[in-house]
Amino acid sequence: MTALGMAAVRAMESKRADRLFDDPQAQLFLDAMPGAFDQYFTSDTKSLGAMFAAHGAIRTRFFDDFLLGAGCRQVVLLAAGLDTRAFRLDWPAGVHLFELDVPDVLAFKEPVLAHHEPRCVRITVPADLRTDWPTRLIAAGFSPTTPTAWLAEGLLIYLAATEATNLLQAITEKLSPGCKLAFEHSQADQLRTRASAMPSMHDFTEMWKSDSDQDFVAWLVGHGWAPEIHKEVSYGRSGYSGQFVTAEFTQNAN
């Protein structure tokens, strides 16, 4: 449902004249599960919905730019959900893009995209990111010696601090210099306070486990990464902005 929520945000954004990106496949996921969100559209979620929509659009565009700008021939989307970047971004030749998510999400996603051609070599890897996913990733053809752009979009909020640190550790153990990483700089506490007051949001807020990702930035600094925090990213959308972390791996600190 959280992945479908992002598809809803991207389908809405794609209809705007001033859209920040175009995601033509997002609507197909919604069509495959009609009425999925009806129970969540209540009067109390309207303002929160607008905030999620604006934030989702800004973050999608920010990470589109990050991935294309990273200049890496290998891309890993951790918790890819219903992300269609393999299909909609103008990748340079030779890019191998790996999508990881839980098996149920990928099982829903693949038939919807069956007749669409990716614009890179796309490899899906069903895996729970709290388990030994690196073994599966490598078995699927991932090369640990190739500079890689890693994206953890919309994921860390669903992981407890130890699970998130284990994830970062697993990424860092397999890296060579030149790898890049991006994720949202959490506004989880602020979101939780607003959303917890809305009974219709409980299905979602119950899944949020993270406290704050300030520690992740410190963790990265201590493990060979050079992180940068991007604040007030808005692409001109008044009233809304996002905060993101990008990082470049500069040395093998392990």
Contact residues: ligand SAM, CB under 6 A: 2-3, 6, 79-83, 101-102, 105, 128-130, 153-155, 158
8: CB partners within 8 A, 6+ apart: 26, 30, 37
Q: How far is the CB of 176 from ligand SAM (least distance, A)?
A: 24
Nearer to ligand SAM among residue 224 and residue 242 (C-beta): 242
Q: Which C-beta is closer to ligand SAM: that of 178 or that of 209?
A: 209
User: Quick one: 224 or 243, whose CB is closer to ligand SAM?
Assistant: 243
Distance in Å from the first CA to the final CA of the chain: 37
Nearer to ligand SAM, 12 or 80 (CB): 80
Q: Please, what is the minimum distance in Å from the beta carbon of residue 109 to ligand SAM? A: 9
The DSSP result for 160-202, as a single string, is: -HHHHHHHHHHHHHT--TT-EEEEE---HHHHHHHHHT-GGGH
- Between CA 50 and CA 249 the distance in angstroms is 35
Question: Closer CB to ligand SAM, residue 127 or residue 175?
Answer: 127
Nearest residue to the partner ligand SAM, using Cβ: 81
Nearest distance in Å: CB 220, ligand SAM = 19
Rounded CA separation 218/213 (Å): 9
Strand positions, DSSP E, the chain? 74-78, 96-101, 121-126, 148-152, 180-184, 225-233, 242-249
Q: What residues pair up with 182 in beta bridges, in sequence order?
A: 151, 246
Q: How far is the CB of 106 from ligand SAM (least distance, A)?
A: 9
CB of 59 to ligand SAM, least distance (A): 7
